[in-house]
Amino acid sequence: FGSAATQIQRNPAYSELTSDDVSYFKSILGDNGVIQDEDRITVANVDWMGKYRGASQLLLLPKSSVEVSKILSYCNTRRLAVVPQGGNTGLVGGSVPVYDEVIVSLAGMNKIISFDNVNGILTCEAGCVLENLSTFVENEGCIMPLDLGAKGSCHIGGNISTNAGGLRFIRYGSLHGNVLGLEAVLADGTILDMLTTLRKDNTGYDLKHLFIGSEGSLGVVTKISVLTPAKLPSTNVAFLSCNDYTSCQKLLLAARRNLGEILSAFEFMDNNCIDLAMRHLEGVQNPLPASQTKFYVLIETTGSDESYDKTKLEAFLLRSMEDGLVTDGVIAQDISQASNFWRIREGISEASVKVGAVHKYDLSIPVEKLYDIVEEMRSRLGGKAEVLGYGHLGDGNLHLNILSSKYDNNILAQIEPFVYEWTSAQRGSISAEHGLGLMKAEKIHFSKSPEAVQLMGSIKKLLDPNLILNPYKVLPQSVL
Ligand code: FAD
Ligand code: 2HG
Ligand code: ZN
């Protein structure tokens, strides 16, 4: 399993599932909430990339926070390990069992609870699919503060548990800012109600933040309330080519200065990404087929005045061409062209898994240095694997994808620990937005001090003393 390969042994402190356990779960969830069907279990045991595979025999589908509470309280007493699962689109092996952990899926908790359209505050259960929430709030004149390629499957609870970034981060910022409140169930079954809908609330420690980005290791998120910005009437998308990485950086600076308040996305990809997308994504067209450049940038603007926004974007592009930052470019003339541009950018992940084996690194690196690691990796691997660089340039977040036809330990040995050491030397982050999961639990020290990791271990042990929640993930075994 490539970088998924873990040397971690099953923790013998965990009990093995018995038929009495299954009977208990049936007594609280009914037969429909207790899944043992092999096909359904197999799907839930394997991650989106087909790279991480667990051996769970049980998938539970609670319908309420009380049911989640009963499940966890029982598992805690019995010492049955649990994996909380949302849409199972995570990219670090966090959402699937490592061994025989019970999978607790939030898919059955998908109700919208309320929408305050004066303040744009949505309250819903954690298992709502992001795209369904987007459709719902758009009908109310708002948008979700985050958007990502996995929107059709990922849950808002999964987004919060990974603190997902995505394509709107540059405009609306992190979920730490947009999530107003949440409800979480602790390992012992305590239901922690922090489901406020207040913009300002400085009463004591803001505990909800512990659950944002903790990847199911501290509790199961069951309900959330989130700010939804107003849906603005004018959106424009441009697809541009740049000859070199320095031009991409200069273009970003120019976009921040000149597009200012209407800039809503600034994404970049190298030409290897475009080649890959053209090879593997059905129905997409290269927006700039004649340009033989190394880099492509997708810029989106969102504002309230169609003609003002368009004029502003056109003037920006003209100036960028005159200044030599952009060699070619096109502004989408209709929705289908705009979605073609986005399909290319959002489809890179999907295309990457079609090659066979993929190693994904999700790095925060100062923008000036961000592409150096892609070039260094290419020269290290010397053609043994395909190296792609793309990501959320506006947020300093690189997605480095290394593709080969099958997993090969020699390739992996060329990549790791080099990629982590390099990132650490730049004081970057080895997990910008995807989390640590199983893949990087033992690598956390590349981005966090020993003291910080120790404190994380203490928090984990305080909230989950029997370590039943998402074992082997997020934190190194040494601090538990
Ligand atoms: P899962 O994959 O099911 O779980 C992820 C983690 O959260 C696991 O550790 C799991 O145990 C935990 N978890 C899930 N639900 C809960 C819950 N209710 N309570 C407690 N813990 C829970 N990520 C980005 O940040 N930005 C992107 O742009 C982006 N684009 C993507 C595009 C594609 C095509 C794909 C496949 C993935 C992408 N991702 C991206 C990664 C992934 O989609 C996100 O991490 C997403 O937030 C995961 O949500 P999920 O519901 O699928 O969670
Ligand atoms: C994206 O920005 C996602 O497309 C996925 O975060 C990145 O697949 C990846 O490496
Ligand atoms: Zn991303």
Mean pLDDT for 75-79 is: 98
| Confidence (pTM) | 0.98
Mean pLDDT of the chain: 97
Residues with Cβ within 8 Å of 74's Cβ and at least 6 positions away in sequence, in order, are 21, 24, 25, 80, 189
Residue ranges per domain, the chain? 2-108, 112-227, 234-349, 355-458
Euclidean distance between CA atoms 419 and 321, whole angstroms: 34
pLDDT at 2: 37
Confidence class of residue 8 from pLDDT cuts 50, 70 and 90?
A: confident
Confidence class of residue 1 from pLDDT cuts 50, 70 and 90?
A: very low
pLDDT at 51: 95
Confidence class of residue 3 from pLDDT cuts 50, 70 and 90?
A: very low
- 2-108 architecture in CATH? 2-Layer Sandwich (3.30)
Taking alpha carbons only, the member of 117, 122, 125, 126 closest to residue 134 is: 122
Confidence class of residue 60 from pLDDT cuts 50, 70 and 90?
A: very high
Confidence class of residue 6 from pLDDT cuts 50, 70 and 90?
A: low
Residue 60, strand partner residues? 34, 104
| Percent of the chain residues past pLDDT 90, beyond the cut | 98
| Percent of the chain residues past pLDDT 70, beyond the cut | 99
Q: Do domains 234-349 and 355-458 have the same CATH topology?
A: yes
* Helix residue ranges, H only, 31-112: 38-45, 65-78
Closest residue to atom 6 of ligand 2, CA basis: 166
**Which residues, judged by CB distance below 6 Å to any ligand atom, belong to the binding site of ligand 1?**
48, 83-91, 94-95, 106, 126, 148-150, 154-155, 157-159, 161-162, 164-167, 215-216, 220-221, 349-350, 433-434, 437, 470
Q: Does a cis peptide bond (omega within 30 degrees of 0) precede residue 287?
A: no
| pLDDT tens-digit series, residues 154-176 | 999 999 999 999 999 999 999 99
Q: Is the ipTM of this complex over 0.85?
A: yes
What does 270-330 look like in DSSP terms, one character per residue? EHHHHHHHHHHSTT---S-TT---SEEEEEEEEES-HHHHHHHHHHHHHHHHHTTS-SEEE
CATH topology classification for 112-227: 3.30.465
Residue 5 has pLDDT above 60, yes or no: no
Taking alpha carbons only, the member of 130, 58, 37, 45 closest to residue 95 is: 45
Residue 193 corresponds to which amino acid? D
**Which residues, judged by CB distance below 6 Å to any ligand atom, belong to the binding site of ligand 2?**
91, 149, 348-349, 352, 360, 391, 399, 401
| pLDDT tens-digit series, residues 196-223 | 999 999 999 999 999 999 999 999 999 9
Q: What is the CA radius of gyration of the chain?
A: 23
Measure 124 CA to ligand 2 centroid, in angstroms.
26
| pLDDT tens-digit series, residues 313-341 | 999 999 999 999 999 999 999 999 999 99
Euclidean distance between CA atoms 475 and 294, whole angstroms: 38
CATH topology classification for 234-349: Alpha-Beta Plaits (3.30.70)
Residues with Cβ within 8 Å of 245's Cβ and at least 6 positions away in sequence, in order, are 294, 295, 370, 371
Measure 92 CA to ligand 1 centroid, in angstroms.
9
Measure 146 CA to ligand 1 centroid, in angstroms.
12
CATH topology classification for 355-458: Alpha-Beta Plaits (3.30.70)
Taking alpha carbons only, the member of 391, 182, 208 closest to residue 298 is: 391
CB atoms within 10 A of CB 100: 18
| Cα angle, residue 37 at apex, residues 33 and 43 outer, rounded to 5° | 95
